[in-house]
Amino acid sequence: MRYISTRGAAPMLSFDEVLLAGLASDGGLYVPESWPQISAAEMRRWRGLSYADLAVRVMAPFLGDAVPLPAFERMVRDAYGTFDHPAIVPMKQLGERLWSMELFHGPTLAFKDLALQLVGRLYDHVLASHNARVTIVGATSGDTGSAAIEACRDRKSIEIFILHPEGRVSPVQRRQMTTVPSKNVHNLAVQGSFDDCQDLVKAMFNDRAFRETYKLGAVNSINWARIMAQIVYYVRAGLELGAPDRALRFAVPTGNFGNVYAGYVARQMGLPIEKFVVASNRNDILTRLFETGTMEIHGVEPSLSPSMDIQVSSNLERLLFDLYGRDGKALAAEMEGFRKGKSMSLSPARHKAALEWFQGFRLSDEGTLAEIGRLHRLTGELIDPHSAIGIAAAAEAAKAGDTPVVALATAHPAKFAEAVKRATGIEPALPPALADLMTRPERLERLPNDLNAIEAHIKQRLAEEVHA
Ligand SMILES: Cc1ncc(COP(=O)(O)O)c(C=O)c1O
Ligand SMILES: N[C@@H](CCOP(=O)(O)O)C(=O)O
């Protein structure tokens, strides 16, 4: 398996090279040269497999010969051995055609663990075989950061720097990052939005000298390995609901478009997915794109679902690459225009093609609180605001059409206790392993939204490590 950049000007790479590269050298994102296929017969055979066994089968074609299969199997088993539910991603029926899939049973209580527990192990394996070290730089609106830190803490060959928007993540999310005492973990609270943090990370990757000197690595979903690991639970949901003999739909709470893009890949591999409902909060750039064909950046506004407070959805570029017939040069020009003009429009034909697979949905904060309350009254369950947006989208979709709709529940309610309490009067408790989280000492650096300041800080910290 070889990987190509969405902007057409970076070298083709193998899986291990893509894992270490993160962003492509032309500023694009790596995607597989072609989509591996899962046959109907394979899907039927895979129905009763454990999550780990299924994960190995779904992901193996993406590795090429970069990682030996026995080692990969071990990594997968270890990664999902950290989850606290035997099904790893349990599904619950909420209505006649309505299901939710819980993706928050990993160590940091959000769907990011499904990919990052594996990516941390892949990094270890590949760094050891290349005898290399890496400096991870990542941006987070709250969940990627803690999942990446948990996956990379105390690893000898990794230093990890996570940028989060100061004051714009929940107190639990912040503390899950800042209370980790490991020496290789560095938290930077940036005066700006998640989009600013993500721009800073991309700018560090595009600063060739900095990237090469400090051997930058990525943990955000710009890294293909993140997407690869997220494909598995779509296949799992499909098999549980009767694929390949029955089609289904997904409703996905969306920010950076990584989660829903992994579903798109599952469909490209042959899973019979009829439609994706792309669900957003008031930061609805994607919903507007599907409604109108035009993508236009408005400022990021804080909401009750802060992890989705994003306007520039990185992974949309991977979908656009296919909508542009995999013409990297044409897409590079389009992305440059979008960067400068903060707006881009799809041609009517491309817009129509996108609507065959996707539809948009948005929910206000008031609607989110109402949905948390409604679900609690109906089922007795507490759900977090991100999952609530997905479930509300799925409930609406289930009213139209006969195929089942699966809502992805992306975070544990205790990560957003304040919103859940406002909606239900009940404060969800953190699991026992995190019971004392709110009293642990924190460690973070406050920095301006300025590339030079961030790079200087990282250089200084790395120099101190060398002399320690
Ligand atoms: C809890 C939660 N739900 C949904 C999302 C949106 O997912 P994506 O960025 O993959 O679209 C995020 C952030 O990524 C998140 O942390
Ligand atoms: N919501 C995310 C934002 C980063 O997205 P990623 O999937 O690209 O890592 C977060 O919680 O940090």
- Ligand 2 atom nearest 198 alpha carbon: 4
Residue 407 CA to ligand 2 center (angstroms) comes to 18
Summarize pLDDT for 166-194 with one digit per residue, the tens.
999 999 999 999 999 999 999 999 999 99
Answer yes or no: is the C-beta of 254 below 6 A from any ligand 1 atom.
Answer: yes
With beta carbons less than 8 A apart as the criterion, state whether 454 and 462 touch. no
Residue 6 CA to ligand 1 center (angstroms) comes to 22
- Ligand 2 atom nearest 145 alpha carbon: 12
Answer yes or no: is the C-beta of 140 below 6 A from any ligand 2 atom.
Answer: yes
Answer yes or no: is the C-beta of 107 below 6 A from any ligand 1 atom.
Answer: no
ipTM of the complex: 0.99
Residue 131 CA to ligand 1 center (angstroms) comes to 33
Summarize pLDDT for 333-387 with one digit per residue, the tens.
999 999 999 999 999 999 999 999 999 999 999 999 999 999 999 999 999 999 9
In whole angstroms, how large is the CA radius of gyration of the chain?
21
Query: May I ask the CATH architecture of the domain 87-108+224-424?
Result: 3-Layer(aba) Sandwich (3.40)
Q: Which two tokens stand for residue 146?
A: 């803690």
- What values do phi and psi take at 102, rounded to 5? -85, 120
Going by CA atoms, what residue is nearest to atom 9 of ligand 1?
A: 256
Q: How far apart are alpha carbons 356 and 378 in whole angstroms?
A: 33
Answer yes or no: is the C-beta of 253 below 6 A from any ligand 1 atom.
Answer: yes
- Ligand 2 atom nearest 226 alpha carbon: 7
Could you list the beta-strand ranges (E) of 281-409. Answer: 294-296, 343-345, 358-362, 405-409
pLDDT value of position 467: 67
Q: How confident is the model at residue 468 (pLDDT cuts 50, 70, 90)?
A: low
Residue 54, CA distances (Å) to 38, 60, 241, 459 in order: 12, 10, 15, 42
Q: How far apart are alpha carbons 149 and 151 in whole angstroms?
A: 5
Tokens 């979908």 -> residue: 319
Answer yes or no: is the C-beta of 142 below 6 A from any ligand 2 atom.
Answer: yes
Residues tagged active-site? 112
Q: How far apart are the first and last CA of the chain?
A: 41
Q: What is the pTM of this model?
A: 0.97
Summarize pLDDT for 224-269 with one digit per residue, the tens.
999 999 999 999 999 999 999 999 999 999 999 999 999 999 999 9
The one-character DSSP state at 413 is G
Please count the other Cβ atoms lying within 10 Å of the Cβ belonging to residue 128.
Answer: 11
